Amino acid sequence: MSEEVKRISIPVLGEKMPSFEAQTTHGIIRFPDDYKGKWVILFSHPADFTPVCTTEFIAFQKRYDEFKKLGVELIGLSIDQVFSHIKWVEWIKENLGVEIKFPIIADDRGKIAQLLGMIHPSKGTNTVRAVFIVDPNGILRAILYYPQEVGRNMDEILRLVKALQVSDANDVAIPANWPNNELIGDKVIVPPASDIKTAEERLEKAKKKELECYDWWFCYKKL
């Protein structure tokens, strides 16, 4: 009988992000309290001085200004010591010409990684490639997990933040591949009617061209 894989616990969407204090390349941070009023992308990588992780950090940094325009702070994390982080960041700047401007948490004892479910025993002792998107109220809004062998798509992470912000600001849902959806392009979805009266009103609005609908349960609009 095979040995049972130890179960891990992860934070739950819609709940307050677990709090912790950590040493980073930019000093001590208290998360999420130090980031009140800001969106945060907290992401883990398996190890410093590894090829895939290096490409990811370059990719995040290349989009740093785009994230900042959205009010987003980036925070990296691995179970390496802070000295390793500092030297790796220096190496990237000296050899690849890119300055990493966001902090990297040194979780050398793995406590934060365990707290956030970043270590998956069947994938080894290093952190997997986890992404946590946290809103200005410290609420966890999205989680992404990638295996160590596959690098992340930073444009998708950027798109996800934009989509969450648009959804919050306009009380709408966001279609697949937005803003290039195959059915409705860059339009957004109106929440489905929850009663007969609203459903009938939706169809009337569609007839009057006040709203676009495939049916009462699938209406959409241009922002």
Q: Who contacts 68 (Cβ-Cβ below 8 Å, separation ≥6)?
A: none
**Class assignment of domain 171-223?**
alpha beta
Q: Do domains 20-153 and 171-223 have the same CATH topology?
A: no
Please tell me the pTM assigned to this model.
0.92
The C-alpha atoms of residue 99 and residue 158 are separated, in whole angstroms, by 20
- Local confidence pLDDT in tens for the 223 residues of the chain: 334 445 567 889 999 999 999 999 999 999 999 999 999 999 999 999 999 999 999 999 999 999 999 999 999 999 999 999 999 999 999 999 999 999 999 998 889 999 999 988 888 788 899 999 999 999 999 999 998 999 999 999 999 999 999 999 999 999 999 999 999 999 999 998 999 999 999 999 999 999 999 999 999 999 9
Could you confirm whether domain 20-153 is CATH 3.40.30.10?
yes
Domain extents in the chain:
20-153, 171-223
Contact 169, 70 (CB under 8 A): no
* Active site residue ranges: 53
